[in-house]
Amino acid sequence: MKTTFVVPDDLEPARRADDATAVGDVIPPHNKRCFGCGPDAMQGLHLQAIAGEGLTATAVLEVERRFAGGPGVIHGGILASAFDEMMGLTNMLMGTIAVTAVLDVDYAAPIQVGTSLRMDARVLGLRGRKVYSEVVAYDAATPGDPLAGGHGLFVVVDPVDHFTRANARP
């Protein structure tokens, strides 16, 4: 995979919360109306990320026709949304809330509508409030070389303070 995103080589280790979603269970949606994971987001992705060992999670995105960009292939923004959500949900296994500051996507190959896309995400480590995460996507039916990959820099926030301030803006 190619990327210009720089992951510091001296990250602090991140730790799974004691009360994190059990391995094999679906990480609960953080907001029922979330475009990425919310069951009530009618036009959303409805991602269900299964918690893995440590700070990892996996989900499958059915690449529906409504997700098309170019003819027959996924829209780049939809893939970016799915990657953002996958890393955001995986970060929640730490028991903290972190919002995206930087999102980097490597669109290595076209992803066809009608296929199933497996996404494997993991937290790479921390630097103070900064969380570095990555995600890699494969064709779920014929795994081989990754079709795309992503990195994110997330910042841990106090969710009440963050979203109260965000919603108070005129």
> Does the protein bind ligand MYA through residue 3 (CB under 6 A)?
no
> Does the protein bind ligand MYA through residue 6 (CB under 6 A)?
no
3-state secondary structure the chain: CCCCCCCCCCCECCCCCCCCCCCCCECCCCCCCCCCCCCCCCCCCCCCCEECCCCEEEEEEECCHHHECCCCEECHHHHHHHHHHHHHHHHHHHCCEEEEEEEEEEECCCCECCCEEEEEEEEEEEECCEEEEEEEEEECCCCCCCCEEEEEEEEEECHHHHHHHHHHCC
Nearer to ligand MYA, 18 or 161 (CB): 161
Nearer to ligand MYA, 32 or 129 (CB): 129
> Does the protein bind ligand MYA through residue 155 (CB under 6 A)?
yes
> Does the protein bind ligand MYA through residue 101 (CB under 6 A)?
yes
Interacting residues with ligand MYA (CB under 6 A): 30-31, 84-85, 88, 97, 99-102, 128-130, 153, 155, 157, 159-160
